[in-house]
Amino acid sequence: MDISIGLPNTLAHPGPLMIEWAKLAEERGFTSLGTLDRIVYPSYDTIASLSVAAGATSRIGLLSGVLLAPLYPPVWLAKAAASLDAMSGGRLTLGLGIGGREDDFVAMGRSMRERGRNMDAVLETMRTVFAGEKLGGDAFPVAEHGHPKVLIGGSGDAAVRRTVEYGQGWIAGGVPAAQVKPMVDRIRREWHDVGREGEPRFAGLAYYGLSDEETSKRSLRTYYGFIGDAADMIANGALRSPQALRDSIKEFEDAGLDELILDPTVPDLAEVDRLADVVF
């Protein structure tokens, strides 16, 4: 299983830390750099974060885990993603989800009630744009270069359908390995039932913090404060010891993941080395 690391794009820190984090992550051998996506939160934008990381590196993958696709204008998002993939040398993987915070949708002037329908519209647009084809009667394609891989997030029937119809695989949110395996098995089965070639790719994420436990817990409680008391469960569940990390990696690998993104909860560059020393 590939081991990746998240960028600290939801954590409070000076922007230049992102560049040093990306460089060090590539140097230490992580497979990809991941991001989390929010609007009404003082985080760094997903596309901007991955673009900065792309410019600071040359080999490491770029993975949005996950980008909340229905929040954005479909054509713009497809063009931005294709552009980033092309300019980074084909390193972009789009993990896409539908979102669940109403304030994000209000801020962007998008309908939360219609997010499922809008997600399908985004995926249709991306399929056309990434193929270098014209949209409707346009004189030119929106993009001729850039073909990002797409992983679909979610746990319901619609997520399975979208993965099989549009994706190259599936990405799990911050859920335990025991909840991952049933989805992996189901998607793999339906993938072959409809005649898709090859194998779907499976990714997931987990939080870690190997120093400053109080900062680690506070960052997660703040980020997930909108879900009430359950934020404490997430904060307390982050991986904070070498053994907890090793155990979790084995559990996710046994569940069928091809890639695990370990997202930071402490905005300290040394957390990259601390994690690498444990997992490699």
* Domain CATH number, residue 48: 3.20.20.30
Structural domain tally of the chain? 1
Beta carbons within 10 angstroms of residue 201's beta carbon? 17
Q: pLDDT at residue 14 above 90? A: no
Cα–Cα distance measured from residue 75 to residue 110, given in angstroms and rounded to the nearest whole number: 15
pLDDT of 119 above 90: yes
- What share of the chain in percent tops pLDDT 70? 100
**Banded pLDDT at 268 (limits 50, 70, 90):** very high
Q: Which of 49, 23, 55 has its CA nearest to residue 36?
A: 49
Q: 19-41: per-residue pLDDT in tens?
A: 999 999 999 999 999 999 999 99
- Looking only at the bridges linking them, the beta strands covering 201-208 and 259-264 are parallel
Q: Does the pLDDT at position 42 exceed 90?
A: yes
Whether the pLDDT of residue 15 is over 90: the answer is no
pLDDT of 191 higher than 90: yes
Q: Is the CB of residue 182 less than 8 Å from the CB of residue 150?
A: no
Nearest to 64 by CA among 82, 80, 52, 47: 47
Q: What is the pLDDT of residues 148-182, one digit of tens each?
A: 999 999 999 999 999 999 999 999 988 899 999 99
> CA nearest 28: which of 274, 273, 268, 208?
273
Confidence class for position 275, pLDDT limits 50, 70, 90: very high
Q: How confident is the model at residue 185 (pLDDT cuts 50, 70, 90)?
A: very high
Determine the structural domain holding residue 122 and report its residue range.
2-279
pTM of the entire structure? 0.97
